[in-house]
């Protein structure tokens, strides 16, 4: 029996489905999204990538990973715009999906129902570990879910949450290593305890 580690059918045959890549910050969500989208392009699929226009962290136009991998994208303000730009596409990628409105759930379903492969990447939880924006509902309706993990910067175990270093209670705060760190559950709890003690 021959076992392929990659399901190549996704890259060559037009078949509607929703794939969600989730995890903490630095877990490799964007790299995995870019990897799948670049492979789809090699397979001559018509690909479009969207990101929230407010995510200007590394670039206004491109989707960029923490390791500087990048791919051209279309920044948009509202999930409804995705439908306008996607009718002639085979594959649609969406990064930083946690920042989109709840309409994204219906948009992804409509695209997949129309035969488009939809690949969504986003944070599953905010810095307080509360499920983030439309991601929990997208996980529910997805055909396939991939949870990726960063390395806990305190102990080297697998990280599962994002700890905010910067003092701010706002839910949305763009940032990277100076503002956030990926931690395992035990180190996350320890950090919260230290913060309470130092108040
Ligand atoms: N603690 C960490 N654990 C794993 N990767 C890390 C860590 N800190 C920095 N990185 C870098 O982040 C990259 C993943 O970046 P990216 O795909 O943009 O993640 P995400 O989109 O999940 O935030 C890794 O390839 C690695 O180079
Ligand atoms: C946890 C958390 C994160 N953010 C912001 C910080 C970054 O700009 C993005 C996440 O980017 P990544 O590709 O997953 O590294 O989200 C936020 O606004 N609020 C939060 O609670
Ligand atoms: Zn740890």
54 has a pLDDT exceeding 60: yes
4 has a pLDDT exceeding 90: no
* Set 11, 19, 32, 96: catalytic member: 96
Instruction: List the beta bridge partners of residue 74.
Output: 50
> Which residue has tokens 């670049």?
38
**Annotated domain spans of the chain:** 15-148
SS3 101: coil
pLDDT tens-digit readout, 143-177 = 999 999 999 999 999 999 999 999 999 999 999 99
Give, for ligand 2, the residue of 174, 177, 178, 182 to mutate: max count of ligand atoms closer than 8 Å to Cβ.
174
Cβ contacts of residue 39 below 8 Å, gap of 6+? 11
Nearest residue to 194 (alpha-carbon basis) of 171, 169, 165, 158: 165
Give residue ranges with CB within 6 A of ligand 2. 25, 29-30, 57, 123, 126-127, 162, 171-175, 180
Q: Residue 199 has what DSSP assignment?
A: -
pLDDT at position 57 is 87
pLDDT at position 191 is 97
ipTM: 0.99
22 has a pLDDT exceeding 90: yes
2 has a pLDDT exceeding 50: no
Nearest residue to 117 (alpha-carbon basis) of 61, 52, 36, 51: 36
CATH fold of the domain at 15-148:
Rossmann fold (3.40.50)
pLDDT, average across residues 45-68: 94
């Amino acid at each position: 029996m021959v076992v392929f580690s990659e399901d190549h059918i996704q890259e060559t045959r037009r078949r509607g489905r929703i794939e969600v890549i989730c995890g903490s910050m630095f877990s490799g969500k964007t790299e995995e999204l870019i990897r799948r989208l670049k492979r789809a392009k090699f397979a001559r699929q018509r690909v479009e990538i969207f990101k929230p226009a407010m995510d200007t962290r590394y670039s206004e136009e491109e989707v960029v990973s923490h390791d500087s991998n990048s791919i051209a994208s279309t920044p948009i303000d509202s999930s409804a715009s995705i439908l306008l730009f996607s009718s002639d596409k085979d594959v649609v990628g969406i990064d930083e999906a946690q920042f989109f409105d709840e309409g994204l759930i219906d948009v992804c379903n409509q695209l997949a129902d129309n035969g488009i492969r939809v690949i969504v990447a986003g944070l599953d939880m905010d810095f307080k570990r509360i499920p983030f924006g439309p991601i929990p509902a997208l996980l529910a309706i997805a055909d396939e879910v991939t949870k990726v993990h960063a390395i806990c910067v305190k102990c080297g175990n697998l990280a599962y949450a994002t700890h905010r270093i910067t003092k701010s209670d706002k839910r949305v705060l763009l940032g990277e290593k100076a503002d956030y760190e990926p931690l395992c559950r035990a180190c996350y709890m320890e950090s919260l305890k230290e913060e309470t003690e130092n108040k």
